[in-house]
Amino acid sequence: MMYVKAIKSAALAMITLGLLMPATEAGAVSRIKDIADFEGIRDNQLIGYGLIVGLNGTGDNIKSVDFTRESLISMMDQMGINARGGQIKAKNIAAVMVTANLPPFARQGSRIDVTVSALGDAKNLQGGTLVVTPLMGADGQVYAVAQGQVAVGAVSAQGANQSISKGVPTSGRIPGGAIVETEIPFELESLKSINIALRNPDFTTARRVADAINAMLGTNAAQATDPATIVLSIPSSYQGKIVDLMTKVEQLQVQPDQLAKVVIDESSGIVVIGKDVKINRLAIAQGNLTIKITDVPVVSQPLPFSDGETVTNYASVIDINEDTDAKLTVLDTGINLQELVDGLNTLGVTPRDLISILQAIKASGALQAEIEVI
């Protein structure tokens, strides 16, 4: 017997979990440091190309991966060893891309973490060692040099007829594997003004940040120039003491505003509804269709004293039933998130059904929010 049924409402809790916040948290405040970035205080991305050695036969196939072979020959040349005339058959070497983030104000000699990722057909980087690899910025200048033992957080095993792999064994990390060689110059104390950039641009939030800073300083030193930027002019009392000023500014608390938005991930059926989403008065009906397919055995027996065999066949019986208890629900004007979810929950909708319903409400013009499909 096989059943093909429309999805029921058992999984609706996945939507509401984490969305229906208590009233005391609806207007939660955040520190400025948690919602904004400060000019000049940022990471810089570094990249390099290197070789990992010491692999247990899980490296690149030198015969088929030309860049690994040429890189190995070049490295051997620099060490005074001529390997161009011989046959290189090593499988313990892998070519990798090395990436890292250079944090703000990183000083010469400090260490940063690096990530290595295989470029060729290496099977596993576990147990390998990255040899000296310069890491360059977008300007082509070397800012750090990486080297060290690779840590792979994956498991890979292979037998005669079957293999298993958990995680990605061709990617790993080297904690503290790079040493900063060149500092990025930035004179924080010489700034006359600082730009504060909101991570989620919004006119109301920008104005609230500026007001909070001005209230703390007792002067109109901060001004919101656009939805994403607040310009803070350094007061004369903080000249040469910008670190003290920024310490006070980043700890100020404001209540960020947000757009009324519904975010939908159709691939996974996840729906996230903002707290300010409201709808106009409308009626919603939702029903489920159930298709039941039953295979009934039909036995055919031979005549007595014959040489025939008993044969069993199956006849399929299809029953289509549409729920008769589908409800038409009226949702009042201006309901909030709690009432919206409760109203849809009474219909027994699932996350998949909710996606279609919200899109239909938006198409009717009754949903006062933006729908973003990711």
Q: What percent of the chain has pLDDT over 70?
A: 72
- Residues 258 and 21: beta-carbon distance below 8 Å: no
Does one domain contain both 221 and 234?
Answer: yes
Please give the DSSP secondary-structure letter assigned to residue 190: G
Please give the DSSP secondary-structure letter assigned to residue 237: G
Does one domain contain both 173 and 82?
Answer: yes
Asked which of 74-88, 127-141, 339-353 is least confident by mean pLDDT, the reply is 339-353
Whether 183 has a pLDDT exceeding 50, the answer reads yes
Q: How many angstroms separate the CA atoms of 176 and 114, rounded?
A: 7
Does one domain contain both 269 and 369?
Answer: yes
Token couple for 248: 């006070």
Does one domain contain both 52 and 98?
Answer: yes
Whether 22 has a pLDDT exceeding 50, the answer reads no
330: domain range?
A: 2-24+261-373
Q: What is the per-residue pLDDT for 4?
A: 32
Does one domain contain both 248 and 320?
Answer: no
Q: Is 216 exposed, middle or buried (0-12, 13-18, 19+ CB in 10 A)?
A: middle
Q: Give the strand pairing for 261-265 and 270-273.
A: antiparallel
Of the candidates 141, 146, 144, the residue with the CA atom closest to the CA atom of residue 172: 146
Number of domains forming the structure of the chain: 3
Does one domain contain both 176 and 191?
Answer: no
Considering only residues 330 and 51, tell me which one the structure prediction assigns the higher pLDDT: 51
pTM above 0.75, yes or no: no
Considering only residues 85 and 359, tell me which one the structure prediction assigns the higher pLDDT: 359
Does one domain contain both 281 and 245?
Answer: no
Cα torsion angle, 352, 355, 358, 364, sign: negative
Q: Which of 254, 271, 295 is the last residue of a domain?
A: 254
Whether 287 has a pLDDT exceeding 70, the answer reads no
Q: What is the per-residue pLDDT for 282?
A: 67
Q: What is the per-residue pLDDT for 97?
A: 96
pLDDT, the chain, mean: 79
Does one domain contain both 61 and 129?
Answer: yes
Whether 24 has a pLDDT exceeding 60, the answer reads no
Q: What is the per-residue pLDDT for 2?
A: 35
Of the candidates 137, 111, 119, 140, the residue with the CA atom closest to the CA atom of residue 60: 119
Q: How many angstroms separate the CA atoms of 178 and 241, rounded?
A: 32
Q: What is the per-residue pLDDT for 158?
A: 65
Q: What angle do CA 87, 90, 96 make, to 5 degrees?
A: 120
Asked which of 17-26, 159-168, 297-306 is least confident by mean pLDDT, the reply is 17-26
Quickly count: other Cβ atoms within 10 Å of residue 221's Cβ. Answer: 18
Q: How many angstroms separate the CA atoms of 344 and 327, rounded?
A: 11
Q: What is the per-residue pLDDT for 12?
A: 35
Q: Which of 127, 152, 180 is the last residue of a domain?
A: 180
Q: Give the strand pairing for 261-265 and 370-373.
A: parallel
Q: What percent of the chain has pLDDT over 90?
A: 36
pLDDT digit string (tens) for 118-176? Answer: 998 998 999 899 999 999 999 999 999 999 999 998 766 666 666 676 778 899 999 99
Does one domain contain both 103 and 75?
Answer: yes
If residue 240 lies in a helix (H) or strand (E), which one and from where to where? none
pLDDT digit string (tens) for 215-271? Answer: 999 999 999 999 999 999 999 889 888 889 999 999 999 999 888 888 888 777 777
Q: Which of 145, 180, 215 is the last residue of a domain?
A: 180
Does one domain contain both 210 and 234?
Answer: yes
